[in-house]
Structure 1
Amino acid sequence: MDIYQHTITLNNGEQVKLDKYKGKVLLIVNTASKCGFTPQYDGLESLYKKYKDQGVEILGFPCDQFGHQEPGSNDDIAQFCSLNFGVTFPLSEKTEVNGPNTNPLFADLKTQAPGILGTKRIKWNFTKFLINQEGRVLKRYAPTVKPAEIEKDIAALL
């Protein structure tokens, strides 16, 4: 099962079919602007700049389900990420990753790469999913895993 059947809405309202990313390595992350892990935007942007020309895409999904740490509008979030971290990778509109309104992409990601003890819930902001060039989820990373620690896994796929 691959993730390419999903369509996401970017923070500017543009609809993007994920099949646009066929043949690329994807790192999908639920993000927040007011979280202790927010500085990971720097590491994510570094990975993106280093590997985007080699076929790596990073997709950020702002989420306000954990401690109300993403309170702003889609425009506020985009501006914050650009001004504070120079983010150039795509950001989706605000999304939910748990509960009855879970984004269908995240429902698939959690099924394909459950957490510790098989849990499907995302526990906090900056949970990361690595997807190979065929659209299969290879690995789930905890929020505490810094983007630099994922670099070796990305490089191995290229």
Structure 2
Amino acid sequence: MSERTGEHRHAITLTVNGVLREAAVPARRLLSDCLRHDLGLTGTHVGCEHGVCGACTVLLDGEPVRSCLTFAVTVDGHEITTVEGLAERGELSPVQRAFSECHGLQCGFCTPGFLCTVTAFLRDNRTPTDEEVLEAVSGNLCRCTGYQNIIKAVHRAAEIQAEESG
């Protein structure tokens, strides 16, 4: 029970970006709020708070989910990857590098959600068509870029991944 609110807290344990983390959260705490406020991982952005914009997208056991629609208690024991966890050994991931190289971001608010979405998409589809890319990113809204460079970045990320996998 929290002294401040009188609300019961639930102990949860999750692996976030490869690190075992624990938190005590109210039953109604959203995963986005848990990541940002309880665990200090502010890369996950909250836009619409209705699951429409995709800015809050993270990977839950490798699959993209809207963290603003997911209760933190439901991910107890699961693995979460946020935008902070996409880089490996201090190196940007192919998707992150491609977005930078192709100018697939402007203000950056929607970028974490796009990066997580595209990471999962390219894991499952190594050589996407333009139509498949459009479908994959259709759940992520960007108000700045006009999407053309985002589409280019997805294709470039696929190229980088192909080059690196030999």
Question: Structure 1 length normalisation: TM-score?
Answer: 0.29
Q: Highest CA radius of gyration, 1 or 2?
A: 2
Q: Which has the higher contact order (CA 8 A, sep 6+)?
A: 1
Taking structure 2 as the reference length, what is the TM-score of the superposition?
Answer: 0.28
